[in-house]
A and B are shown apart, each in its own frame.
Chain A
Amino acid sequence: MSNADAHSGITHSGIIGRPINRVGGPERVDGTYRYVGDIKIPNVLHTRLVHLDCGRARIHSVDTSAALQMPGVRAILSGKELPASVKRFGPANRDRPILAIDETTFHGEPVAIVAADTVWAAAQGAAAVVVDYQELPGIYTVEDALAPGAALVQDPALRPNSAYKETNILNEWKFGWGAVDSAEADLVVENDYTFPMMTQFAIEPFTYAVEPTSDGITVYSAIQHPNYLQRVIAEFLDMPLSRVRVIAPDPGGAFGGKQHAKFEPLLAYLALRIGRPLRLELTLEESFQAARRTSAQAHIRTGFQRNGTLVFQDVEINYLIGAYEDIAGRLVAKGSYAGGGGPYRIPNVRILARGVFSNTVPSTAMRGFGLPQMNWPVECQIDEAARELGIDPVELRMKNLPEYGEVFMPQDPPADGRWAETLRKGADAIGWGKPLPPGRGRGISMGLKLGPTTGASYAIVRLHGDGSATVLAGTSDMGQGARTVYTQIAAHELGLSPQRIMVVMGDTQGVPFDLQTSASRSAVFMGNAVLRACRDVARQVQELAAEHYKADAVIVEPGTVEVGGQRKTFDQVMTDRFSKVKGEVIGSGSARAEYDETHPLNGRPAFYEVTCTAVEIEVDKETGVMVFHKLVTVADVGRALNSQHVAMQDDGGAIQGLGHTVMEQYFMDDRGRVRNLGALDYRIPTTMDTPRELISLHVENGDGPGPYGAKGAAEGGILAVSPAVAAAVCAATGAMIRELPLTPQRIWEALHT
């Protein structure tokens, strides 16, 4: 079934909010969708990376002679052979070499790359490269990294202007308001919490291809930010942006792991050097070594009045990042800033957050962007206070939620939603307070994430001579359904059935600029750009109608113009006007949020993403095995542009949240090697691990800045899962566990040792 079929019979009327099926959905299911890996490039060579089985090593020499003799092997490049002129790259600081040069700094950092006629020949060649190296001790934990006299993970020369360059600290952020030290509390809850090292685990592994062309270079990558990648490659190669074409087919899952360049610069360099197109498909194991979420350790003190009123929050949180910065600076700042308070009114807040370098897999963005790590301690503290004070956890939260329009973070916009409604809906749906069978427990939690603070999205809408339309938008549809939502906006604005609209993305040569696909931004930013482009088209159609019919024309409803007392659809106007000499109408629109130096994050959030998760679980106390009977998520989305998509995103977020809550974690040995690379011993939830009942609800008050009052969605579902589950486990067993994931073994240990 094609997209057109999927939407046959659907008209534009009432299409906003409607649960229409996903554009591109059937193709993803029947296997006809073309991912990066399906793109065939003539004359391409396949590549494979060479890495070492240890966390950190000094490379003495790389002997490629035997490998070069292997059948099918065409070229090998090792870091040792890189000319000094080859630049480093990185989305924030350019600190990462395309291949390890003298030292590998994490388990899996490539030492060399082998290009061959087939995937198998490349793999055989990679296995035959002989690396003479000496294993070195590494920094693998926050404690190691912060110990006095600890070896430096990163060469200070890579960040000459940093005040922290002689330490393993990337940066330290201090946020807050009020006066924590003089705040008087009846109850102070003080605890340590940890959040595991985990990976995004997109089902599509990282896959790339690079093709040198006569007029520049084409890079194929399932990247979330095609324009960002374009810039990174242009700077890396000293080429103008116009000569770098990034083709980014919709990723097969990304979850933040595919935001930034990883091996594209390496392939670009080698492809130009040997004059052949190259492709690289990482194995799942290698994908685990390419990106992960930052792990975190928090020490937190929270003060309450006897009646449950929050008095202060005092948090110190260390995020353990990899050996390169990637976007950790932004992640630590943004994640800790908003998380420190959560969606609550807290008069005194003090946050100290650090990004800490280590010899571990590069950490990058993941759904929630630093917030799940922070929300975990913050919400657990509230439950602990509820238990200590004998106050119901829902009531305690209600008491501290700001009203609509109330300022709750002094430098930020006031509460933009009716958050009590979100909490109430979650509590009602889980049956809060109703009796439970023995062995079961319930937990509830909230979460708040800041929406994007800056941004720039541009869209072009072409209304063709036959009245159909093409929307050009540089967002990546990585499963969140951006194509569908833009189709709905254009259908509504232009009065077209969705079948007549095509959304084109993922090609920087023809599609206008979008800053990035992240931060739950696309419905709001690109959504507004598409909406404005449609309205630009409408204005032009109106003019065109007046001119063509030689009468006054007014738009009476989206997609319909009244001329000389007659109603005409845009479709009719277009066919009448362009029947002889053909043509089209081109509209453009943009949405921007500028840099604001006065704000701690250099920009005020466009909206708040507020969520509630509630669970009912059962624990087998003898084994620690947990069963999820029910899970409810509630998202304040302002306006659901597609109710099905919102529910699917929150379902997905919740299931992904169950991953780090109950099973996902990297196990590292004392040599810094990840011992559970791949799908065998790194567990993610299967369908059989999902809650027996999974309900995703939303709150819609039309109070968002996006089209028709929408706010961003899709990260919320993951924010509050861990604390809700921990509270439920505590309710069911009496054991409060502050270290994720809550594996059967860990629950058993809490109960029996």
Chain B
Amino acid sequence: MSALHYARPESLADAIAILEQYGPGARVLNGGTDLMVRFQKMQVTPEAIVDIKRVRDMSDAIVWDGDSVTIGARVVMTRLIRDERIRRRYPALVDAASTVGSIQIRNRATLAGNICNASPAADTVPPLLVHGATVQLVGSSGSRETPLDGFFLAPGKTARAPDELLVSITIPPHRSPYGAAFGRLTRRHGVDLASINMACAIDAERAVTFAFGAVGPTPITVKDTSGALADHTVSDAQRDAALQALIARTSPISDVRASAAYRSAMLLVIGRRVLAQAQQRRADFDARE
């Protein structure tokens, strides 16, 4: 067994060079709230740990370009939650980020880490998915941008190549009125991982998108094509039928957190609540603009 190599590069190029050298044996260390737990339990046994906290060009800034926002890979949940403009524009993301762990965890946990960890239950992923976020990756063969939808391949697995770093996340502009909401179900009130989670967005054209987490190997994004979900005038039964059509695309399993039957039933219950809140926020948005 060789000794573990710990690297704290200061430039992106150096970081990528180490990643390239170790290939899949390297692990990126960001806030460490996922990685260190797994490391201590020997669930991951990396040859090299590449700490990116000192990398100059890994940003911890939230940058607006018109109505589009780019969130650096070093931005922690606490910072995201406190950002006034994010709070106004993306309350669903703020709600999701606010549920991650505890205050101490949120002071270290990054949005990038929540994505790259690729847990099916990652809380910030559903809102990012319904917002149509993209991620920017830089590797030895250059940089690329890819939609978050499609980035997740399996639990713990993403389309990121071993020598790539996720450097930022971009949320594209949304024409108003726009409303989105986040909801989740946990086994207790304090610090818990989601038994199910979800986000819903309703855009200016009244297109409704849902993203569901913890009900399949990866979070999934589904669009309502019935039109029933954006329409206030439909009956509860019609609305539920449209929701059920979306829920049918999920594949919940039974595990220690919840049974498949309970998860399925809760998708509908929480789905109704999240939809109602998204509608309300869209209406409020309408009123404000």
Contacts and interface: CB of A to CB of B under 8 A. Distances in A.
Whether A associates with B in a native complex is yes
Interface of A: 70-71, 123-124, 127, 283, 285, 622-623, 625, 627, 662-663, 667, 675-676, 680-681, 683, 685-689, 743-745, 748-749, 752-753
Contact of A745 (B1, B41, B262): B262
A623 B269 contact: yes
A127 B41 CA distance: 11
A745 B41 CA distance: 29
Contacts of B191: 686, 688
A676 B256 contact: yes
Interface in B182-224: 185, 187-193
B193 A680 contact: yes
B13 interface: no
A285 B256 CA distance: 16
B265 interface: yes
Interface in B259-285: 259, 261-262, 265-266, 269-270
Contact of B188 (A71, A623, A680, A689): A689
A470 B111 CA distance: 56
A749 B188 contact: no
A749 B262 contact: yes
Contact of B256 (A70, A667, A744): A667
B82 interface: no
Nearest to B4: A120
29 contacts: A70-B1, A71-B1, A124-B1, A283-B41, A285-B41, A623-B185, A623-B266, A627-B189, A662-B188, A663-B187, A667-B256, A675-B256, A680-B193, A681-B256, A683-B187, A683-B188, A685-B190, A686-B188, A686-B189, A686-B190, A686-B191, A687-B190, A688-B191, A689-B189, A689-B190, A743-B187, A744-B187, A748-B265, A749-B262
Contact of B258 (A686, A745, A752): A745
A688 B189 contact: yes
Interface string B19-44: 00000000000000000000001100
Contacts of A748: 262, 265
B257 interface: yes
Contact of A123 (B42, B192, B262, B270): B42
A667 B256 CA distance: 7
Interface of B: 1, 41-42, 185, 187-193, 256-259, 261-262, 265-266, 269-270
Contacts of A627: 189
Contacts of B270: 623
Contacts of A744: 185, 187
Contacts of A687: 190
Nearest to A627: B189
A64 B42 CA distance: 20
Contacts of B190: 685-689
B259 A745 contact: yes
Contact of A685 (B41, B188, B266): B188
Nearest to B270: A623
Contacts of A675: 256
A61 to B, nearest CB: 23
Contacts of B192: 683
A667 B254 CA distance: 12
Identify which of A283, A622, A663, A745 gathers the most chain B CB atoms within 10 Å of its CB. Answer: A745
A193 to B, nearest CB: 22
Top 8 closest pairs, chain A to chain B, by CB:
A686-B190, A688-B190, A688-B189, A745-B262, A622-B269, A681-B256, A667-B256, A676-B256
Given A124-B1, A680-B193, A683-B192, A752 B187 contact: no
Nearest to B193: A680
Given A663-B188, A683-B192, 6 more contacts: A623-B266, A675-B256, A681-B256, A686-B188, A688-B191, A744-B185
Contacts of A753: 261
B42 A127 contact: yes
B192 to A, nearest CB: 7
A585 B243 CA distance: 81
A722 B137 CA distance: 52
B25 to A, nearest CB: 16
A625 B196 CA distance: 14
Contacts of B266: 623
A283 B43 CA distance: 14
